[in-house]
Amino acid sequence: MKNSEIQGLTTEEVVARINEEKANLTKLKFAHTVSAIENPLRITKVRKDVARLNTELTKRKAEAKASATPESASE
């Protein structure tokens, strides 16, 4: 998943994708532990996708917090 695709998602969709990807990562890790999966690099890719999604979510929360707090007026 590319950053441009992630930025096009709504915040609710980002949270949903994080949950989906984490579940997928858990399944991949378990499958790889039981027997070697065909492409073990998929685990790395999914882990990086989760990190990208979390980064975007954190960025959005910081922007929302910054816009919600009133700016200090210098007097």
For residue 28, what pLDDT is reported? Answer: 96
Distance (Å) of CA 34 to CA 23, 31, 37, 40, 68: 17, 5, 9, 13, 48
How is domain 3-60 classified at the CATH fold level? Helix Hairpins (1.10.287)
**Which pLDDT score, from 0 to 100, does residue 73 have?**
52
pLDDT of residue 32: 95
- pLDDT for 68: 84
Buried b (16+ CB within 10 A) or exposed e, 13-37: ebeebbeebbeebeebeeeeeeeee
Domain ranges for the chain, please list them: 3-60
Q: Which residues of the chain have pLDDT under 70?
A: 71-75
* Whole-model pTM over 0.85: no
pLDDT at 71: 65
